[in-house]
Structure 1
């Protein structure tokens, strides 16, 4: 929810800064008549147009608050930029990135005969790591046997290397590769 709010604030901030940049550029290129600009400034300071003063104050306050929010976010999130699995041992803390676990799962799955293309996604659950694999098979091997071998290999490899329990390995066989074994016929 907070990320969605930050994206929305970034969108509003970009619009506001973009509008200010266009107005400043236009004024610098003398595209606004001088009388119009002096009337705008005069109306802003004269107090005859309270709505103009209120609008300028509200917009500038909102842009300033959004700037403070982005400044805070940029300082706060610099420590934990990559998602990771944290463990505490008697010697200290260990952080293993999810990308590392993903690469370990891909390495173990790619060793299985009959697998052609792989993609992996890692999620952390209460029971441990959940690995989801999307595979393309060669069409020569039994899919139930192939997927069971992939599951077993990935689970044991990831647990052995990381020391983190694997709650489950799901394999989705998206397609098989069509091998072109056509005999050419010459007449």
Structure 2
């Protein structure tokens, strides 16, 4: 939720600063007549206290947004590269979640009859939760194929990383259609 708010603020801030920059460039290069600018300013500044309060309010808002982006720019994001950390007698081991996902894909692809695989890894106290999304060719039993994929992925991940796998969920998204070959008739 905070990231969405920051993105919205950044968008609005960028649009406002961009528009102000374009207006400043056009005004500085003589794009507006002096008479017209004087009329706009005099219409806008009918009551100087209202104008002064508006300018101060907008300036405070822009300053707060700028400070927020400054803090975001210097703060180190601990979630930039999600990893699984293990402590051994020789030191720390960090394995990226992307590495585990690729290992799961490699293991799942060994199952005959699967196509277009995708993997997601969740880290929990019980171990890794792996979700495999696949298309199948429809030639064999889907439950048998899914169980084989679960077993293969679980064994491969535990063997390669040493991290226990709590569950492997398989989602069969669809059945792929084999390209049909048509023979042309010559008459």
TM-score range, shorter chain: 0.7 to 0.9
Superposed displacement of residue 138, structure 1: 1.7
| Residues 88/47 of structure 1: CA separation in 2 closer, same or farther (3 Å cut) | farther
Could you say which residue in structure 2 is the equivalent of 1:61? 60
- Work out whether residues 47 and 53 of structure 1, in 8 Å CA contact, stay in contact via their aligned partners in 2: no
| 5+ residue gaps, structure 1 | none
- TM-score under structure 1 length normalisation: 0.84
Q: Secondary structure at the match of 1:82?
A: coil
Could you tell me how far apart the structure 2 residues matched to 1:39 and 1:168 are?
71
Superposed displacement of residue 124, structure 1: 2.1
Deviations, residues 154-175 of structure 1 (Å, cap 9, x unaligned)? 1111111122221211111112
Residues 42-121 of structure 1 aligned to structure 2 (within 5 Å): 48-78=47-77, 80-121=79-120
Deviations, residues 20-50 of structure 1 (Å, cap 9, x unaligned)? 1221122134232223445677899x99511
Could you say which residue in structure 1 is the equivalent of 2:123? 124
| 5+ residue gaps, structure 2 | none
* Root mean square deviation, CA, Å: 2.7
Could you tell me how far apart the structure 2 residues matched to 1:185 and 1:61 are?
75
Could you say which residue in structure 2 is the equivalent of 1:154? 153
| Residues 90/38 of structure 1: CA separation in 2 closer, same or farther (3 Å cut) | farther
Question: Are 2:35 and 1:35 aligned?
Answer: yes
Could you tell me how far apart the structure 1 residues matched to 2:182 and 2:61 are?
72
Could you tell me how far apart the structure 1 residues matched to 2:166 and 2:67 are?
41
Q: Secondary structure at the match of 2:121?
A: strand
Superposed displacement of residue 176, structure 1: 1.8
Could you tell me how far apart the structure 1 residues matched to 2:89 and 2:99 are?
23
Could you tell me how far apart the structure 2 residues matched to 1:184 and 1:40 are?
76
Could you tell me how far apart the structure 1 residues matched to 2:35 and 2:90 are?
73
| Residues 57/185 of structure 1: CA separation in 2 closer, same or farther (3 Å cut) | closer
Could you tell me how far apart the structure 2 residues matched to 1:90 and 1:42 are?
76
- Work out whether residues 16 and 63 of structure 1, in 8 Å CA contact, stay in contact via their aligned partners in 2: no
Q: Secondary structure at the match of 2:90?
A: coil
- TM-score under structure 2 length normalisation: 0.84
Could you tell me how far apart the structure 2 residues matched to 1:175 and 1:97 are?
29
Q: Secondary structure at the match of 1:179?
A: coil
How many aligned positions are there?
186
Q: Secondary structure at the match of 1:23?
A: helix
